[in-house]
Amino acid sequence: MTDVARAAGVSTMTVSYTYNRPARVSPDTRARVLRAAATLGYAGPDPSARSLRYGATRTLGVVLGEHLTYAFDDPQAVRFLAGVAEVCAERGYGLLIVPTGAGDDDHDRVVAAAVDAYVVWTTTDDDPVLAAACSTRRPVVIHGGPERAGTTMVGIDNRAAARAVGVEVFAGARRPVVLSFPLDRNREMFVGSGIDPDSVAYPVTRDRLAGYRDAARDLGIDWSRVPVGVCRTSDEDDARTVMRHLVAAAPDLDAVAAMSDQLALGALREATGPLRVSGWDDSDVARQHDLTTVAQSLREQGAACATAALGDPVPDHRDAWRLVRRGSTAA
């Protein structure tokens, strides 16, 4: 900038004004400055220097969980991100995706990112990435949980929703099972019975499991005998693998409550007989396969997270879900 000023025969301030307050510079000088800039290949004020000066970056950080990869493969996470992006676009904020999960320096990356606030995608209570985001004292909004002092949480009441859909899918079933997201960050695939929701590290998964248990109780079903198949991701292929294990463990299974439409689809594909199935999210998949599911707008929640992170109030989302009854639980 100093160079441009010299070349144009003005002070640096005039150059600065030319870019930031064009009205305060005479058209003549302005043209001269711009010409000098063009000659020197100067493209405008340096963004880092500007941020330093302003004390703000006009950038919103997003942490998509332990492995970036999972997030992009999960259509719901993508929807969520689209919501965040929408708000960023409207308000002229950059959207910085912080690259986590590729090393052991996640903490440093989160702390060292040039952002004004953080939106954190659902994670576990003990996720160091979450701790890192909170430690920077920037505003933090967490989607889905965990709740944490000093942060904002945006998400639906997963327990209530799971109970509602659980009652629907388990009704009349003699051998209900659950197809679950991972319980903790190890993301082990396995089949267990009567899993205690309180032992689950992901709040969203915990709440949904608790809701399914509530539903089982409502229907007089003994939760301790309900097999839970735990998948590594929200992936149809994962679901099929786990479903095969479930069928092996409980050949008479006749109802599956799945934590996503993708998982539900996997269950359908591996079904050996008549089967009641419920999904979650009311995605295209659910509509195509006539799946009973829980409708919620991840996109809207993403937008709400961004809005909250940028300091504006957002409505409570606890009741922003809806049970969608379809053919998959009609029999």
Using CB under 8 A as the criterion, which residues of the chain lie in contact with its own copies when the complex forms? 41, 43-52, 57, 59, 68-69, 72-73, 78-79, 81-82, 85-86, 88-90, 92-103, 105, 109, 111-115, 135-137
Partner whose binding site includes residue 20, from its own copies, DNA, none (CB under 5 to 8 Å by kind): DNA
Q: Which residue has the tokens 């997201």?
A: 181
Please pick, from the candidates 7, 45, 219, 244, the single residue that binds DNA as defined by CB under 7 A. Answer: 45
Give the x/- contact pattern for DNA in 1-40, rule: CB under 7 A.
xx-------xxxxx-xx-xx---xxx-xxx----------
10 binds, among DNA, its own copies, none (CB under 5 to 8 A by kind): DNA
Strand partners, 281: 295
318 three-class SS: coil
Q: What are phi and psi of 320, to 5 degrees?
A: -85, 50
The label of the residue with tokens 């008549």 reads 274
CB of 46 to DNA, least distance (A): 3
Using the minimum distance from each CB to its own copies, give the nearer residue, 79 or 244.
Answer: 79
Comparing CB distances to its own copies, the nearer of 97 and 171 is 97
- Of 287, 245, 298, whose CA–CA distance to 265 is shortest? 287
Residue type, 87: V
Residue 192 binds: one of DNA, its own copies, none (C-beta under 5 to 8 A by kind): none
Beta carbons of 210 and 260 less than 8 angstroms apart: no
Ramachandran bin of 9, using left for φ above 0, alpha for ψ from -120 to 50, beta for the remaining angles: left
CA–CA gap between residue 61 and residue 119 (Å, rounded): 6
To its own copies, the closest distance from the beta carbon of 252 in angstroms equals 30
Least distance from DNA to the Cβ atom of residue 207, Å: 39
Q: How far is the CB of 136 from DNA (least distance, A)?
A: 11
Residues 6+ apart with CB under 8 A from 45: 1, 16, 19, 20
| Residues at the site binding DNA, with contacts judged by CB under 7 A | 1-2, 10-14, 16-17, 19-20, 24-26, 28-30, 44-46, 49-50, 52-55
